[in-house]
Amino acid sequence: MARNKRAIPEINAGSMADIAFLLLIFYLVTTTMDTDKGINRKLPPIDDELVQDPPPIKERNIFTVLVNSNDQLLVEDEYLEISELRAKAMEFIDNNGDGSCEFCKGYGVSTSSDNPDKAVISLQNDRGTSYGMYVKVQNELVAAYEDLRERYAEEEYGRSYRGMDPEEDEEIIKEIKNAYQQKISEAEPLNIGG
């Protein structure tokens, strides 16, 4: 049949671009590009039975950080600027008072922590403290641990801790995290300067 031999007319694709533009604009309007980032923390569970008999911690192993309602810092009973907090915290964690920590570089001061395993950072803020300040303090304390881990990784493995792949170097990361375990305890906020 002669009819079958005739070519099928081409579909007009002229408006394809218009349709695609329409979709594109829809996506541009309804979506956002910002990725969410933040400081990950874990809250302690509410469990009264556990708290009844807390293990005794020596005074020297506690690094107290207080923040008042004017966003001022009191660290170990002395006034401190936020920019000095990281170094101070690192000095405390890394002190190695009992000499059991082989990789520590602290001065072994008798008034500071025994070893990184025993060192606890205690953080307390006021209800009037601003959230911005709170995050800054959290950030500095986490950074103190991260910096120590970074140094440990450089010395033990000759690699950067922050540059490690969480899946590939799982074992190494675990080892490093174990060497400098993050121990930050948060107390219930005070309500003094409302």
The binding site for other proteins (CB under 8 A) comprises 13, 16-17, 20-21, 23-24, 27-28, 30-33, 35-46, 81-83, 125-132, 134-136, 138-139, 142-143, 146, 188-189, 191
* Least spacing, CB of residue 29 vs other proteins, in Å: 9
**Hey, which residues does 122 pair with through a beta bridge?**
64, 185
Minimum separation from the CB atom of position 67 to other proteins (A): 8
CA distance 184 to 6: 80
Least distance CB 134 / other proteins (angstroms): 5
Task: Give the nearest distance from C-beta 46 to other proteins in angstroms.
Answer: 5
Q: Cβ contacts of residue 177 below 8 Å, gap of 6+?
A: 149
* N residues, the chain: 194
Q: Which is nearer to other proteins, 109 or 192 (CB)?
A: 192
Nearer residue to other proteins within complex by CB, 97 or 133: 133
CB 150 within 8 A of CB 90: no
Q: Which residue has the tokens 């002395």?
A: 78
Residue whose CB is less far from other proteins, 63 or 145: 145
Give the sheet arrangement for strand 62-67, strand by strand: 78-80, 73-75, 62-67, 120-125, 184-186
